[in-house]
Amino acid sequence: MDVRQLRYFLAIVDHGSVHRAAQELYVAQPSVSQALRLLERDLGTDLFHRTGRRLVLTSAGERLIDPAREVLRGMALVRATVEAVDGLRAGRLAIVAMPAQAISPLASMVGRFRAAYPLVEVAVRAAATPAEVVAALRAGTAELGVLGTPAVGPELAGLTVHPLATQAYVLVAAVEADLPAGEPVSMDALAGRRLVVGRPGTGARRVADGVLRRSPGCRIAVEVEHREAVLPLVLARVGVAVLNESWRELARAAGAVVRDLAADEVLKVCLVHRDGRLSPAATAFLPR
């Protein structure tokens, strides 16, 4: 058994087939198949049930996933530690973040980190919900995560949590006439308006659903999974939107009208990571 075999095994798990794993790894498909056969031979058991072209994990395969990820994380930590001996002059830091928190505070945090360590590559991956951030950390596809949650609860158990900020919600519209007068705008003051909303499970969507319940005649105009499309839809006067306040400056720069919303909840923005030792780059990135 070697690290390459474990890496190929996890690629098959993560991407669902030998073919797709080979594409992601940029290697020939027979190389992945052979590595899997050798790993199964070394372990003395099948890791997948083969049903036609489909691969379904056996019980042994399921049990191997977490230890295999730990091995790869350990190898990455070894490499990062050695590379850091000369002062973080190389390496790569993977961060997973929700969209609003990627705008703020993550963008400024990355800027400060890159100014201090310009030779470390930073990769920021997207996650739509706190659960997706946590899943990426547990799977080892990112070392640090930035998320917004109404409250730090049991879903973050087993993770180290660093509070960063508290973010409120705003209303965004194309023109003044699309919003009621006064600020902050109450949740029951949007009677008859049409909303552009994101996918369920996000904070902005929860607040938008509260507006829909409390403002008579308020309806959804568009539900869009691509959160980056919300602002263009607002500017096209499709409807108004509830957004995290991290969007405020971008929305104003695009010509939108932004007003504070007297919402029932705020977001606790946190940087999170798995308990245990971090790479030198991740340690340097932590808030001071």
* Per-residue pLDDT tens digits for 218-229: 999 999 988 889
Instruction: Measure CA 180 to chain center.
Output: 34
**In this predicted structure, which of 62-66, 95-99, 111-115, 232-236 has the lowest mean pLDDT?**
62-66
Residue 90 has pLDDT above 70, yes or no: no
Give the pLDDT confidence score for residue 8 in this predicted structure: 83
Residue extents of the structural domains in the chain: 3-77, 87-165+268-285, 169-265
pLDDT-above-90 percentage for the chain: 47
Q: Terminal CA-to-CA distance of the chain, rounded, Å?
A: 41
87-165+268-285 CATH: 3.40.190.10
Residue 187 has pLDDT above 60, yes or no: yes
Confirm if 227 and 99 have CB atoms less than 8 A apart: yes
| CA 41 to chain centroid | 37
Q: Decide: helix, strand or coil at residue 197.
A: strand
Q: How confident is the model at residue 87 (pLDDT cuts 50, 70, 90)?
A: low
pLDDT of residue 85: 47
Residue 21 tokens read as 């794993």
Taking the model in full, what pTM does it have? 0.70
pLDDT, tens only, 117-171: 898 889 999 998 898 999 888 888 899 999 999 888 888 888 999 999 999 999 9
pLDDT in tens, 24-78: 888 888 888 888 888 888 888 888 888 777 788 888 888 888 888 777 777 776 6
CB 240 within 8 A of CB 178: yes
Task: Tell me whether domains 87-165+268-285 and 169-265 share a fold.
Answer: yes
> How far is C-alpha 212 from the chain's CA centre?
27
Each residue's pLDDT tens digit, 192-249: 999 999 988 888 999 999 999 999 999 999 999 888 899 999 999 999 999 999 999 9
Amino acid occupying residue 171: L
Fold type of domain 169-265: D-Maltodextrin-Binding Protein; domain 2 (3.40.190)
Average pLDDT in the 256-280 region? 91
Whether 71 and 6 have beta carbons less than 8 Å apart is answered as yes
pLDDT in tens, 245-258: 999 999 999 999 99
DSSP H or E segment with residue 67: helix 59-83
Which pLDDT score is estimated for 111?
A: 94
Containing H/E element for 104? none
Decide which of 3.90.550.10, 1.10.10.10, 3.90.1170.50, 2.60.40.10 is the CATH code for 3-77.
1.10.10.10
User: What token pair was written down for 60?
Assistant: 């042994």
